[in-house]
Structure 1
Amino acid sequence: MHRQINLAVLSLALATLTACGGGLAATNNSPAPPPGTLTISPTTLNFGTVTVGKSKTMTGTLSASSDVTVSSADWNGSGYSVSGITFPTTVAAGNSVSFGVTFTPASSGSSTGSISFLSDASNSPASETLTGSGAQTSQHSVDLSWDPSSSQVAGYNIYRGTRAGGPYSRLNSALQASTSFTDGGVQSGLTYFYVARSVDFNSQESVPSNEVRAAIP
């Protein structure tokens, strides 16, 4: 009788231990991994000077220390727009995601802005600075004039070169009847050299006039 009681107590203790062991195996107390950080490169996109009405696009990249999901982007500043990326997008650890920013100035002057990316990263929102300037197209021309020929002439031909002494290329498609001409096809930063020739009624050209030089700012 005494031995039977001891066996019952022992069986109960084993059953209790088994139940406790099963409960410990089912419990997971591991801490959740910390959120990653999102990095934008470069931190500033500088577009320099862009002609009004023209566009310039530059590329930026997103990278992350661990997987980060980017949900949206918000940007500001006159003339800026973002392209080349869809949302939501996941930036995997060790990889990068590219995006484009386009600057299209509508007027002259400087323009600053920024773009911010919202994500589940610890540093959300992450931002990038945008800078640029708009400039009007500079229109230059060269006005030429000369003394009329002492002989009877049908008109004049005007020639232009980029080196002193030539070679020259003819600018006018038809004989120039007057003693003046405007060259509107010049470019900033270049220097041009001009001569004129009179043309008689037999289509014979005279020797060239003295050469004049025009430096375009």
Structure 2
Amino acid sequence: MKTDHTKARTGCGFYSAKPHARSCSRPFIQKSRSLLAAALLSSAAFSCGCAGFVAGQNTNPPPPTYTISGTISPSAGGSGATVTLSGTGSATSTANSSGAYSFTGLANGSYTVTPSHSGYTFSPASQNATVNGADVTGLNFTATAQTNTFSISGTITPTAGGSGATVTLSGAATATTTVNSSGAYTFIGLANGTYAITPSHTGYTFSPTSQNATVNGANVTGINFTATASATFSISGAVTTSGAALSGAAVALTGPAAANTTTNSSGNYTFAGLGNGTYTVTPSNTGYSFTPANQSVTINAANQTGVNFTATVTQSHTVALSWIASVTTTVTGYNVYRSTTSGSGYVRINSSPVTLLNYTDSTVANSTTYFYVATAVDSNGLESSFSTQATAVIP
């Protein structure tokens, strides 16, 4: 028997002797064992030199990874906060007791970091970070404790009295709101505390007139009111002159409500739809004075009648002035002066030189005495001295 040494290819491209056993004499077998041992040692050496290749493994180093980190302050809001990573990769992390957080093992790419913590808001709400061959640090946030707020709400019925009503809040906070078309109102953003709610609407009364509400960790609802149309009243009277009706006279009302009206052909006037309160009634008409000049009237759950006035014709007076022409040929006009003091205090009453030899003063007052003088004005604007004084007595 002889031994056939064949070659077996190893994974590294080397060859080693591989015996093929056949029948042989013992001495040859011993020799073959020695050769086999040498061949195995040689094969082992080759195999150990390229074990990774032989095993079919990639020996390239893994790609590098990086970290995104930051801090949430103050630590009271940061400690225990959840920080979410999204983008090229996603993960969550919990900020430690100092408010610090980090995401490790990140590949290059774009990420968004978003903190959250019950009872807190964050500024900014989130931040973007780009990993590009280096760690990203200093991605910090500020936590602000949320203040829980609540609301007070209710309705005013019927909607005719509720819609458009004003509701006032006082107490732990103050505010006003307007009731919507359904009669509903709401005050929001309220802290715990005691409040008073009071509705108002012209022409309506409310039941109850006001309500208290206590906010204690929850919204308060059902603070409702009932609106009732208020009773209204009137003020009326007449205006006469010399015992006869004065029609067309203007009458003004001021006070809790304001209005204007005119006397009818019988001299009568009326203001209707008025609530309780004190009003002032004032008549007027060109060419008349009134007695009294006005009247104060108080409505207290009843109509007020007989608020009458007497009109007196106011006489209108004028003063007609005339003078003799100046003998100076360069005179182009005249100025007229007036005073209520004889011999002094004259004030010009014409706006531009008078080219005629007369002038009518229609701005005089009753029971007043006036003193007049005139001057001549030439083409150069030079003015003469005063003329002789004239006197007019207005009754």
**TM-score, normalization by structure 1:** 0.48
The structure with the larger Rg is: 2
